[in-house]
Amino acid sequence: MLYIDAGSCVDCGACVTACPADAIVPHTKLKPEQSLFLGLNAEYYQVFPHQDRTPLALVHEQRRLTREGPFRVAVVGAGPAGLYTADELLKHPEITVDVFDRLPTPYGLVRAGVAPDHEHTKQVEKLFRQIESQPGFRYFLGVEIGKDLSHAELTARYHAVVYTVGAASDKALGIPGDDMAGSLSATDFVGWYNGHPDKQDLAVSLDQERVVIVGNGNVALDCARILAEDPTLLEGTDIATLPLEVLRRSRVREIVVLGRRGPGQAAFTMPELVGLAGHDGINVVVDTGDHDLVGEDVKTRLLRELAQRPVDPAKRTIVLRFYASPVAVHGQERVTGIEVGRNRLVADEDGVPRAVPTGETETLAAGLLLRAVGYHGLPVADLPYDAKSGTVPNERGRVIPGVYVAGWVKRGPTGFIGTNKTDAEETVDQILDDLDAGIIPEPVGTTQGLRGVIRNRQPGMVDLAGWQAIDAEERRRGEASGRPRVKIVDVDEMRRIASTARPPRYAALRRWVRV
């Protein structure tokens, strides 16, 4: 959550206009269910008064390269980390940037992860559109590095290659029955409802009354909310078409979210809990078993208030259950129940509370199990890999001089969209240091003719104009049905639409600028 110090804020409203994710709202415009944020904000400054009024975000003077360019950088992955990296690099007129993504559409998890009912968050796309429109920026979308083009082919042509490929996989639970039909990862489920082309065949069956979600991070809350939401409200979002149909026919009444530790250790963040608490179409039940809900922190206070609310049987219910872990998945051919074990908390040698099973278990009847226990990065071809963290080992983003990482593949699958900006800044700083120090070898080749090489292997490559054509077509289809967009989920259809795009205005000038 972002806090604003009422003691020093002059209420000019500039931050409200500037915030790309619409995260700042004047107090006069808060909806009643959001009024909790006022108290949260005030309380923060009582605890952290920082009376010296030193700005927390210092604006640094723009760094300049000491070596003469031109320098070419390839960025692999057009998610937030990739686009923030490109933006930072393009602050240097000596640098041009080519951004590759395996999908014909950019924006990574902002398109395929952020929940469809969080439309304000997707406004960060406005910023991404500004980034991709800058001179010196080119897209090579629908091109998979490691398949359509190799790492060696990139390093031969670019001074630096930055991998921002995210964390495409998930963590396993490792309990009996976990691989049965009806046991899915939240990674797949989220991709499914968000229209990720690879996830549209996912078998999601919502024909039983209960779903169990393991893990209580923000992804778990997103999944729970989508499952509990009135489908008529989802019709006004960019949720993918087939999942919306499945959700319309859903028989689910209860979604149980299992947190292995207590409310004080819950991984979901306050804004997400406040959002859920303020949703008047969903019951939220708090179940701490035989543990008392003690503590005066804001999260516990809100959970205590939720625990006292009456349950309306006409609405779907999300149960936030604490001190509970799945121990086995029951069923013959598909999931019919989850055996849940109770936990108690024991501090480890660092004082961190850890969940320890008490040995007591019970079985919850359920037709679907979602594992929302975190994402996990996959190995990147020809780069070192730390299998435990699912990241590429690096030092401030540098793998070796000339090869870098940023975003989730660099630091692991945590943090918000904006976290990737500071992360990208650190990596770009490292690239600039290495360019200035002259330790990056001069590439043997150039990018001239690269487009032809790629087109030979991947004729459906999509450039900026192609992506803009897909975007316009999705919005056009959305307008016809009162939705922000209707996502196209078939890669061939995307490529076909992209191929009808006319070259952008000033294309000739752009080509000339790039030499």
Ligand X SMILES: Cc1cc2nc3c(=O)[nH]c(=O)nc-3n(C[C@H](O)[C@H](O)[C@H](O)COP(=O)(O)OP(=O)(O)OC[C@H]3O[C@@H](n4cnc5c(N)ncnc54)[C@H](O)[C@@H]3O)c2cc1C
Binding site for ligand X (CB under 6 A): 76-82, 100-103, 108-109, 113-114, 118, 121, 144-146, 164-166, 168, 190, 219, 222, 375, 407-408, 415-417, 419-420
- Of all residues in the shown chain, the one whose CB is closest to ligand NAP is 217
Q: Which of 72, 225, 261, 342 binds ligand NAP (CB under 6 A)?
A: 261
**Least distance (Å) from ligand X to the CB of residue 326?**
20
Among ligand NAP, ligand X, none, residue 260 binds (CB under 5-8 Å by kind): ligand NAP
Q: Which of 219, 406, 409, 440 binds ligand NAP (CB under 6 A)?
A: 219
Cβ proximity to ligand X: between 263 and 390 the closer is 390
Q: Is 376 in the site for ligand NAP (CB under 6 A)?
A: no
What whole-number distance in Å separates Cα of residue 461 and Cα of residue 188? 25
Residue 403 CB: number of other CB atoms within 10 A?
A: 23
What whole-number distance in Å separates Cα of residue 303 and Cα of residue 277? 9
Q: Is 102 in the site for ligand NAP (CB under 6 A)?
A: no
Q: Is 410 in the site for ligand NAP (CB under 6 A)?
A: no
Tell me which stretch binds ligand NAP (CB under 6 A): 141-149, 198-206, 284-292, 414-422: 414-422
**Least distance (Å) from ligand NAP to the CB of residue 174?**
7
Among ligand NAP, ligand X, none, residue 402 binds (CB under 5-8 Å by kind): none
What phi, psi does 184 have (nearest 5°)?
-125, 160
Q: What are the strands of the beta sheet with 160-163, ordered from one edge?
A: 137-141, 95-101, 71-76, 160-163, 403-405, 398-400
Find out whether 389 and 376 touch, Cβ atoms under 8 Å.
no
Cβ proximity to ligand NAP: between 169 and 200 the closer is 169
DSSP 386-418: BTTTTB---BTTEEETTEEE-THHHH-S-S-TT
Q: Is 377 in the site for ligand NAP (CB under 6 A)?
A: no
Q: Is 374 in the site for ligand NAP (CB under 6 A)?
A: yes
Cβ proximity to ligand X: between 169 and 361 the closer is 169
What whole-number distance in Å separates Cα of residue 79 and Cα of residue 416? 12
Among ligand NAP, ligand X, none, residue 325 binds (CB under 5-8 Å by kind): ligand NAP
Among ligand X, ligand NAP, none, residue 424 binds (CB under 5-8 Å by kind): none
Q: Is 272 in the site for ligand NAP (CB under 6 A)?
A: yes
Among ligand NAP, ligand X, none, residue 389 binds (CB under 5-8 Å by kind): none
What phi, psi does 326 have (nearest 5°)?
-75, 140
What Å distances lie between residue 130 and 92, 113, 135, 157, 198, CA to CA? Answer: 16, 21, 10, 26, 28
Burial of 167 (0-12, 13-18, 19+ CB in 10 A): buried
- How many residues does the structure list for the chain? 515
Residue written as tokens 């990065």?
377
Among ligand NAP, ligand X, none, residue 261 binds (CB under 5-8 Å by kind): ligand NAP
Residue written as tokens 């897909």?
470
**Integer-rounded Cα radius of gyration of the chain:** 24
Residue written as tokens 């087939």?
242
**Least distance (Å) from ligand X to the CB of residue 266?**
17
**CA neighbours closer than 13 Å in the CB half-sphere of residue 283:** 19
**Least distance (Å) from ligand X to the CB of residue 115?**
6
Burial of 329 (0-12, 13-18, 19+ CB in 10 A): buried
Cβ proximity to ligand X: between 145 and 282 the closer is 145
Q: Is 215 in the site for ligand NAP (CB under 6 A)?
A: yes
Among ligand X, ligand NAP, none, residue 488 binds (CB under 5-8 Å by kind): none
**Least distance (Å) from ligand X to the CB of residue 171?**
12
Amino acid at position 297, single letter: D
According to DSSP H, which parts of 356-506 are helical? 408-411, 419-437, 450-457, 464-480, 491-499
**Least distance (Å) from ligand NAP to the CB of residue 417?**
8
Tell me which stretch binds ligand NAP (CB under 6 A): 226-234, 311-319, 366-374, 429-437: 366-374
Which residues are at the interface with ligand NAP (CB under 6 A)?
173, 214-220, 222, 259-261, 265, 267, 269, 272, 325, 372-375, 413-416
